[in-house]
Structure formats: structure tokens, C-alpha cells
Amino acid sequence: MKGRSYIGVLVLIVCLNSLLVKYHSYFSDEEDKIYIIYTDNTRNNETSLLLHYKSLLQQVTKRHLPKTTLQYYKKSFSGFVAKLTKEEANKMAGLKGVVSVFLNQKSNILTTKSWDFIGLTQYVEREYYESDVVVGVIDSGIWPESSSFDDKGFGPLRTKWNDSCIAFNFSCNRKIIGAKYYLSTSNEPLSQADFESPRDSKGHGTHTASTAAAGNPVTIASMLGLAQGTTRLFWKLNNTLDVRLVKGKIVLCEGKEGVEEAFRVGAIGILMYGPTLPEKPLSYPLPPCFLQTKDVTGIFKYISSTSNPVATILKTYELNDKLAPVVASFSSRGPNTAISEILKPDLTAHGINILVSWPSNLPILDILGETRKSEFNIKSGTSMSCPHESGAAAYVKSFHLTWSPAAILSALMTTAKKMSLDNNRDAEFGYGAGEVDPDKALHPGLVYDADGFLTTAALQLITRDNSSCSEITHALARDLNYPSFALKASHSKQHVSGRFHRTVTNVGTPFSTYRAIVTPPKGLHIYVIPIVLSFTSLGENHTYVVIVDGVLNKSMESASLTWDDGYFKVKAHTVFESGFSVTRQQIRSFLA
């Protein structure tokens, strides 16, 4: 799983992307544009606010003001809307009592672009068969009223679809075509928040389903966001917060632990500092800003220099980071502790700051005192990365209905985008085969297919006795027909030696010849037999052997095997690790 690197000040902002200002125009100048003016919040009643706003307008323009009431705001923030020329807007920004002036415009939340980022653009003409796929989600349920599950544009269900929909407190449509729930066998009573239906009471199932292929695009989607203006700054001392001192102030805290308490006692903003910046923007119940410890010295000096310190938390902005995408620090890493001869993870996909559907009966944050609710939320984690992978797999399946799960996984892995080692020091143990590329996975050239199989443990679950798999068919884990290779040196030795057997199936062009291209690390010898594979038809299979022998110079070494026919490049990643146990920090140091 990976996230984009963010630079700038993190705050909650007013959701301008869906703001529609409606009032009578009172200027005729063609250069007039609509501006949002933020003001201080020192006036408490509506009459004084209106007089203040009109006074500000009179200072920047001599034109006749409208007799009708201006559009103004007083709950979430203090401010009003006016049509001004650019010159008048600049004058307005310099007036006392004005916090900021900015043009009213639509701002699209970038987290809605995750599918575009991996190559699946929404506004591209699609074939009808790309939609003929059913995605199953096993999770905490779903919120059927969410806009992501609107069935507008969907045709009637196929007659062969005969699944049921639990009707109590829940309804299906042509998008959600079936839903069931399962009660725990422990016979424990349901909590007051739970529903005895497929309806989601936790939010997890809703946001994962809306991210995968199950989610419909929503034209206007945003999460709540509020931005405050200039106000007094309060420094949190001795781990205590006095309500009389904090209410209506911006609080300065070390670390993130003081957020909930600051919110509880009435703070309207919070500045946090620590040794490193958060890897991902977090959701807060009040406008936040996070600084590194080295940058907070100036704030301490300022607080000490005045008896009435003030601060402004500005609207957030984002800059592109050329090192992105980056695997998140909390994403699971290899090596595979259960079976070292199977490389894990397989792939990486977006999992940071994803705009998702959210049950409208749940607050957007799980903290005491939070009451805000929204149809959408912003989430991060494996639960966000997995739906992107699932959606990509469903997309490939829509083009290749006869492909097995193993073939689809192979297509996704061998066509994945290469990720930079500069900012992903765990290499394949961090990102696997690379960043998923659904569009390229439609045409992989060759696939590593596999049939279903049973282990001894699975067999005993069926037979309910001590049946075991035949020793005659016993095979090594490294010979699983997987689109990657992994080998671990025995014990503390640096010497590795072994062989892999693989079978590839031609799904590219009928007459094709592939040549093996190997990139081995220094000190290791990798042989491929045969080195050339020739196909005369689609669906034709060929088996080859990879022989490895040599000495590791590091605790982890990377290599690759690519089958190339001049058009298709089918790449399988290879990882070798030493026989002794190493920590992630040690792996990074060896790779440095």
C-alpha cells in the first residue's frame, strides 16, 4: 500500500467544491467575480455582522449596494460573499477585520483521482462487457442509501442471477444485487448500534465497497471541512487545559495526544509539533497544523514576546512530490515468515487519503463529542488498498471471463509499474511486483496459471479424519506456479542454491517467440532452461526451469527474469535473502 507525500499545512477547510452562491447580481461590470471574504468573529449578533459587512463593502466600492440581504455566514465561520473586481478584492484583503479574500471556485479533492492515477480514467468510452462483473464483499455490511451505490444507468439483472436480498431495514437495487448477513454462533446479543440486517453499523464495509468496483462515481463528493480565521494562541502547559483559557483559542501542543481534550474544552484550532511530520493527513475535529520540532522554535519565541499572541491556520494546499508513490510505513512488509519461498507482498495500490462513502448515521470521527456527519469520509489503510486491487482484478476479469484467479493475479503482477528504490528502501519486501496497472494487465502476453489444490489440513476439514495428501505428489513451495521467485539461504550461510519449475500460458499472439532476459545481482548465477520459448497458438503451455547458485553480498538481493518477444515483456521479480533473521532496519541498511 502506498500514499502520496504531502507538503504544506494540513487543515480542515470549507468545502468550496460544492458551494453554490445564489443571490441577485447588483453589479454590471463584466470583470466582476464572486469572492469569499473571511472576517474575524468578534461580532456575536446578526445585525452587527450585516452592518460590518456593508461597511467593508463601502470602503472598497462606491457603487450602489443591493437592497436585498447579502449572502453571509456566521456558524461555521464568519464571512460573506460579494461580487468584486480584482482591484476591489485586493483592497478588501487589506482592511482591518478581514482575514482573507479568495475567489469562489470549484476545488476537486485529489483523493478522488486514485483510479485515474493507476490508469483507469472515468471519462473514457467503455465497452458494455466491462460492467458485466459481480464483486463480492465480505465485511461489516453496507449503507445502501449512499450515492456510491446508486443504480442509475444500470440495465436489468440477468435472469440467471438468483441471489436474495434480506429485506428487513434494507433494500437492494441494480447496483447492490444481493445482500445477506450472518449472526455470530456465540449467541451473544447484538449491540444497540448493530442492525439485524446487512446494513453497516461501523462504516468499514461501506467505505471498502465504495472504493472497489462496487462503488459508483459521484459527481459532487466531499467531506466536511471548516477553516477558521485569526484568533488568539494558547500554549498547553503541564498537560492541563483550563476551559476558561482555552475556549475560543488555538492551542499549541506537543504530539497529537491533546487533540481530543482541546476539542472537548472548546478550542477552535490546534498546532501540534513533533520530531517528524505525520505520514498521512489525519482527520481532526478542529482545524489543525503539524510542525516539526525544529520549526517550532520561532513560535515559542513569538509567544514569549507578547501578552496577546495570535495565529492564523491557512487553507491547505498540495504540491506534487516526484518521489511518490511511496509505500506507507504502516503497510505490511516481507519477507514471508510462513513460507519464505513465496514472495510477499504481491502488489501495491493506493491506500492513503481515499474519499469513500460513509454511513450517514455515524460521526466522521470516533472521538468523544464529535457530532458531525457526512455521506463521505476520508480513510487510509490496508482496507483502502485492497479494494483498489480487487477492483483491478474485477476489471481484468470483465475482459477475460475464463481466466482463473491465478491467471488474473499473474497478469497484474507481471505488468505492474516499477517503483523507485530511492524512497522505498524495502524494495520487493515493501512493494512486491510494483504498482498495479489495471489497463496494462489486460494484455500480459504470458500468464502463470494454477489449478485449485488442497493441503493436508484442508483435506482433513472435509473428511473429518486423519487423511493426508499423498507423499508421491509432495512438492516444494518454491515450485508453486507463482509469477515471482524467492529463495532463502539455509541457516547462517550466505550461499544460496536451488531450482524453480514454472509453466507459462500464451495469451498474447498465436505465433510468438520469447527470450529470457535475466538481471542477476553480483555474485549470483541464474540459469534459465530453455532460454527461448516458441508458441504457435493461444492457450499453449511451456515449462521452464530456473537454476540459482551463488553467494549473497547482502542480507537481501533482488533480481528479475523477463520473457520478451519484442512486444510483450513478462517480468517476474526474484528475491534472495540470507539464512539468518534480520530486522527491517537491517535490510534497509544493507540496501543503503
Mean pLDDT lowest among 141-155, 165-179, 391-405, 456-470: 456-470
- Mean pLDDT lowest among 97-111, 247-261, 273-287, 432-446: 97-111
Lowest mean per-residue pLDDT among 326-330, 345-349, 480-484:
326-330
Which long-range contacts link 271-280 to residues 24+ away (Cβ below 8 Å)?
271/233, 271/299, 271/311, 271/313, 278/10, 279/3, 279/328, 279/329, 279/330, 279/352, 280/3, 280/6, 280/328, 280/352, 280/353, 280/380
- The residue from 103, 133, 157 where one domain ends is 103
Residue 474 lies inside a defined structural domain of this protein: yes
Q: Is 362 part of any domain?
A: no
CATH number at residue 288: 3.50.30.30
Three cell numbers written together for 445: 502476453
- Torsion of the alpha carbons at 279, 284, 288 and 292, rounded to the nearest 10: -30
Distance CA 121, CA 123 (A): 6
- Show which of 312, 331, 354 is a domain's final residue: 312
Residue 210 CB: number of other CB atoms within 10 A? 28
One-letter identity of residue 43: R
Percent of the chain scoring above 90 in pLDDT: 14
Catalytic residue among 40, 139, 194, 439: 139
| Number of domains the chain contains | 3
Domain membership flag for residue 330: no
Query: Cα(348)–Cα(391) distance, rounded to whole angstroms?
Result: 13
383 labelled catalytic: yes
Write the pLDDT tens digit of every residue in 152-192. 777 777 766 666 777 666 778 777 777 777 665 445 566 66
* Surface-to-core class of residue 498, CB atoms within 10 Å of its CB (0-12 exposed, 13-18 middle, 19+ buried): middle
List the CATH number of the domain containing 46.
3.30.70.80
CATH value at residue 453: 2.60.40.2310
- Domain-ending residue, one of 312, 339, 364: 312
Closest CA to 74 of 107, 94, 45: 45
C-alpha cell at 451: 489449478
Widest CA span in the chain: 95
Residue 136 belongs to some domain of the structure: no
- CB-CB contact of 523 with 496 (8 Å): no
**448 and 546 Cβ atoms separated by less than 8 Å:** no
Cβ pair 412, 441 in contact under 8 A: yes
Instruction: Name which residue leads in pLDDT, 210 or 352.
Output: 352
What Å distances lie between residue 14 and 79, 433, 501, CA to CA?
Answer: 12, 39, 58
Among residues 140, 222, 380, 383, which one is catalytic? 383
For range 122-136, the mean pLDDT: 60
Host domain of residue 56: 20-103
Q: Establish whether 204 is a catalytic residue.
A: yes
Average pLDDT of the chain is 73
Q: What is this structure's pTM?
A: 0.58
Phi/psi at 68 (nearest 5 deg)?
A: -75, 160
525 phi/psi in degrees, rounded to 5: -110, 125
**Structure-block grid coordinates of residue 329:** 510505513
**Distance (Å, whole) CA 543 – CA 528:** 11
Cβ atoms of 354 and 206 closer than 8 Å: no
With respect to residue 456, please indicate whether it lies within any of the assigned structural domains: yes
d(CA 152, CA 154): 6
Q: Is residue 467, in this structure, part of any structural domain at all?
A: yes
Q: 287 preceded by cis ω (within 30°)? A: no
The confidence score (pLDDT) of residue 591 equals 39
Given this model, what pLDDT does residue 11 score? 28
**pLDDT above 60 (res 288):** yes
Q: Known catalytic residue: 139? A: yes
Q: Read off the DSSP letter of residue 215.
A: P
Question: Rounded to the nearest 5 degrees, what angle is found at the Cα of 18, between the Cα atoms of 13 and 21?
Answer: 100
pLDDT digits (tens, 9 = 90+) for 242-264: 666 778 888 888 877 777 777 77
- Highest mean pLDDT: which of 29-33, 49-53, 341-345, 480-484? 480-484
Query: Would 355 be classed as within a structural domain?
Result: no
Catalytic residue among 107, 147, 150, 204: 204
Query: Does residue 502 lie in a domain region?
Result: yes
